[in-house]
Amino acid sequence: MIRFVRDMVRVLNLACEQHTALFSRELDEPIRPGERAGLWLHVRVCAGCRRFRRQMRAMREMARSLASGLEGGQAMPAGVRRRIGESLDVSGADGGAEDRAMAGEDSAPGV
Amino acid sequence: MAAREGEVGTVERRAERPPPTPSEPDAAAQARRAAAERWLVEHGDVLWRFVLGRVRSPVAAEDIVQETLLAAMQSRERFEGASTERTWLLGIAVHKIGDHLRKRARTTHRSGRDDDAPCACEVCRALFSGKGMWQTLPREWDRAGPGETPAADGGEKDERRRALVRCIDALPEGQRDAMWMRDVLGVPSEEVRKAMGLTPTNLWTRLHRARSAVRSCLEAKLLGRREGGAGRSGCGSDRGGAA
């Protein structure tokens, strides 16, 4: 309880610029209950922080929708897929040579 | 076997660990190749759309997807499974795109910028007073302007998304990669932190600076358009960005 009150008071005493850093941080990890309560109280009375926080959340939603937009649409052209597949084949064989060298087997000079 | 028991030193150590049979490395190479072929089938289209959407050049996109899969083959053992396989591959693609954009920036004489520098554009600078209090309130780019329909229609949403991509791509490289991984792809913070070699505080600071800059950039781009280009200059708004 003491920690809760201490966190809340600390957050309430921060400048708005520091509140914006907390709005960003709460997108990445849960902040402490006292900090959350302090922010909640602050945005009741601060229009700038209220708007900033709303825009941070809107940006996150827009960003996530970019990723979900990857699910449908243009497929990889067949020629590109074939060329990449062939390059993986070659590289896989090289990787095998590396494995052989690491395992102490005879390998070509310089490998 | 009896003769081997009488020997000492390296021979004994060899006896503890049987010599690799020729099939072992081949099996490892085959497994690696099989995994890469499966990624190409299962995630190839998503990787293609993601990369092409960022670099806009099919030739560059092909190279980047190929480099991504090759890098993934080499580091397959390091995939810890904290995120999905697709997210992991997209995270590698973010780095490869970053390399590509950096090379392109060098050729177009764009100077590298500090990854942890705070946004210094006009919109960001005007927001706070020296004491960190609001000097100019953030403007409402996320809501409809006067006379517009309240809900953004499909075209409006597309335009916002395009603006978002341009704004993210205009960030300094480290901020850009962090924001793509964390906000767009949803890679867990812990994984982004490890991939970029940052402490938790460094990552939060970097993401905060990136998001603040992108917010200001969106304000300038979206409201500048509504006001016929009369908006303030925002972060990245004077740069073409990658998109």
Q: What single string gives the DSSP state of each residue in A21-67?
A: HHHHHTTTSPPPHHHHHHHHHHHHH-HHHHHHHHHHHHHHHHHHHHH
Does an H or E element contain B220, and which? Answer: none
Contacts of B175 (CB under 8 A, 6+ apart): B115, B116, B206, B207, B209, B210, B213
Q: Could you tell me the residue ranges of all domains in chain B?
A: 26-107, 122-226
Average pLDDT, stretch B138-167? 74
Q: Residue B134: what are its φ and ψ, rounded to 5°?
A: -60, 130
B202 — pLDDT class (breaks 50, 70, 90): very high
Q: With 60 as the cut, is the pLDDT of residue B15 above it?
A: no
Q: With 60 as the cut, is the pLDDT of residue B2 above it?
A: no
Looking at residue B217, its pLDDT comes to: 92
- From chain A, pick out residues whose CB is under 8 angstroms from the CB of B24: 99, 103
Q: With 50 as the cut, is the pLDDT of residue A106 above it?
A: no
| Least CB–CB distance from B186: residue in A59, A64, A105 | A64
DSSP B212: H
Helix, strand and coil in chain A, % to nearest 5: 75, 0, 25
More confident residue, A35 or B82: A35
Q: Which CATH number fits domain B26-107: 3.30.70.120, 1.10.3720.10, 3.10.310.10, 1.10.1740.10?
A: 1.10.1740.10
- From chain B, pick out residues whose CB is under 8 angstroms from the CB of A78: none
Looking at residue A56, its pLDDT comes to: 95
Looking at residue B95, its pLDDT comes to: 86
Q: With 60 as the cut, is the pLDDT of residue A93 above it?
A: no
Average pLDDT, stretch B194-218? 91
Looking at residue B113, its pLDDT comes to: 60
Q: B237 is written with which tokens?
A: 């708004």
Q: With 90 as the cut, is the pLDDT of residue B84 above it?
A: no
Average pLDDT, stretch B23-47? 84
Task: Please tell me if residue A83 touches chain B, with a CB cutoff of 8 Å.
Answer: yes
Distances, alpha carbon B164 to alpha carbons A66, B80, B89, B169, in Å: 9, 30, 22, 8
CATH class of B122-226: mainly alpha
pLDDT digits (tens, 9 = 90+) for A55-78: 999 999 999 888 777 766 778 999
Looking at residue B201, its pLDDT comes to: 93
Residues A87, B161: C-beta atoms closer than 8 Å: no
The top-scoring range by mean pLDDT among A55-59, B114-118, B126-130, B132-136 is A55-59
